[in-house]
Amino acid sequence: MANSPQSKKRARQNEKRFAVNKARRSRIRTYLRKVEEAIASGDKDAAQAALRAAQPELMRGVTKGILHKNTASRKMSRLASRVKAIG
């Protein structure tokens, strides 16, 4: 348990940061799920639109420190190739 004032403050800050990061991660996953659903339905236009919406969200996750840059790039690349393969 935190005892010093500094460690108590760090614990409070960690809780806030955890909540913010959790929300951001959830938001990114939602966008990715929309792309996955569009790919599964076979609708190329919807998949492309969903991918265009998801890309800035992924990169925002990188700048906020939630995802590593290469991880986001890999996810975008794999999704883009799957969207391209539709129809």
**Which tens digits make up the pLDDT trace of 11-54?**
999 999 999 999 999 999 999 999 999 999 999 999 999 999 99
Selection from 37, 31, 32, 27 nearest residue 64 by Cα: 27
The residue extents of the domains of the chain are 5-84
In sequence order, which residues have a C-beta less than 8 Å from that of residue 27 and are 6 or more positions away? 57
CA distance 11 to 78: 38
On whether the CB atoms of residues 39 and 47 are closer than 8 A, the answer is yes
pTM of the model: 0.87
State residue 23's pLDDT score: 98
CATH architecture for residues 5-84: Up-down Bundle (1.20)
